[in-house]
Amino acid sequence: MRRREFLGAGGATVAAGLGPARRAGADEPLRWKMVTAWPKNLPGIGTGAEFLAQSIGEMSGGRLQVQVYGADELVPAFEVFDAVSQGAAQMGHGVSYYWKGKNPAFHFFSTLPFGMTANEMNGWLYKGGGMELWEEAYAPFDVVPLAAGNSMVQMGGWFKREIHQIEDFEGLRMRIPGLGGEVLRRVGVTPVALSGKELLVALQTGAIDATEWTGPWNDLAFGLHRAAKYYYYPGWHDPGTTLECLVSRPAFETLPGDLQAIVRHAAMAANGDMMADFTAHNNDALKVLVEKYQVELRPFPPEILRTLRQHTEAVIEEVAGGDPFVRRVNDSYQAFSARVRDWTAISEKAYLDTRLV
């Protein structure tokens, strides 16, 4: 009831001057709500939302203050987009493939299986036309999207049993969102949509047999090692997942120009800060999982990755083929990926291969 009342009140609060466009007196700050798809202060992504809100407040000299709400405090994780679209909250923090049912193009603004890395995604979004397409995709919903973080290459997931060959996926129920779930469906997996805080109980009770989440830092915080023993890599399905800040367009357009610029630049700062945060903490958390909790760290066999890659190509082609706009987004994504791939190979990959010899 509380959720329905909150969402239903969106239009009324806007009309009353208490929603996105609430105007303050000369000395009174604007106060916005940010609803998120994460438990409050979850390491990396939850703290990233807090960093964004704090940055907006500091950069604006306190003129725009943002209160952050975790998943289920005002709305559930998967209703964040609707809350912002309907004007019930001025801001949101989530990931675009959570709302894939609204438009298949949304997949491309988070990540694609075997797709671009975090640095490559940033290049496409900021310098390759990706942001313009993202804004076009969200415009019918009165939402302005901003890149506001990246979890970088994720882990492949937690499994209760070992995965030796592609047939071992048959019959598994696995929490996995986005196109990665559609790829695994092709090899016999039943993808399940669950929010982060539901994962441990679902694994413990047998509601799911496997799950992916983010990476060691987040996964340790959720205690996923208590329910599954085998921890696989790499995260072929999430090679560079962009997290997003959602802004109600009516709210954004009522801001003066300098506050609009502050919101945009604070999101860019949050994007870089989250990448630094995951880089700084993931390996320490991985050591705890392996050395203290005896988690068995396993690579996916190459033949499994080759099979998943083949299915990925077919899935993306199907998604992109049914709609002219989705095709345009896919063409832009793939063209930029091809454009930067050679440089990534002879720069970062070549260097890492040398360093790890």
> Which pLDDT tens digits describe the chain residue by residue (357 residues)?
445 455 555 544 433 333 443 444 457 999 999 999 999 999 999 999 999 999 999 999 999 999 999 999 999 999 999 999 999 999 999 999 999 999 999 999 999 999 999 999 999 999 999 999 999 999 999 999 999 999 999 999 999 999 999 999 999 999 999 999 999 999 999 999 999 999 999 999 999 999 999 999 999 999 999 999 999 999 999 999 999 999 999 999 999 999 999 999 999 999 999 999 999 999 999 999 999 999 999 999 999 999 999 999 999 999 998 799 999 999 999 999 999 999 999 999 999 999 976
Q: Comparing C-alpha atoms, which of 267, 335, 329, 317 is closest to residue 103?
A: 329
* Rounded Cα distance, 121 and 239, in Å: 10
Residue 241, C-beta contacts closer than 8 angstroms, at least 6 positions apart = 95, 110, 111, 118, 150, 151, 152, 154
Q: What is the CATH number of domain 1-150+239-357?
A: 3.40.190.170
* Rounded Cα distance, 244 and 129, in Å: 17
Residues 255 and 64 sit within 8 Å (Cβ to Cβ): yes
Q: What is residue 351's three-state secondary structure? A: helix
* Rounded Cα distance, 222 and 329, in Å: 34
* Rounded Cα distance, 205 and 167, in Å: 24
Q: Is the peptide bond before 234 cis (omega within 30 degrees of 0)?
A: yes
* Rounded Cα distance, 298 and 233, in Å: 6
Residue 197, C-beta contacts closer than 8 angstroms, at least 6 positions apart = 39, 71, 72, 222
What residues does each domain of the chain span? 1-150+239-357
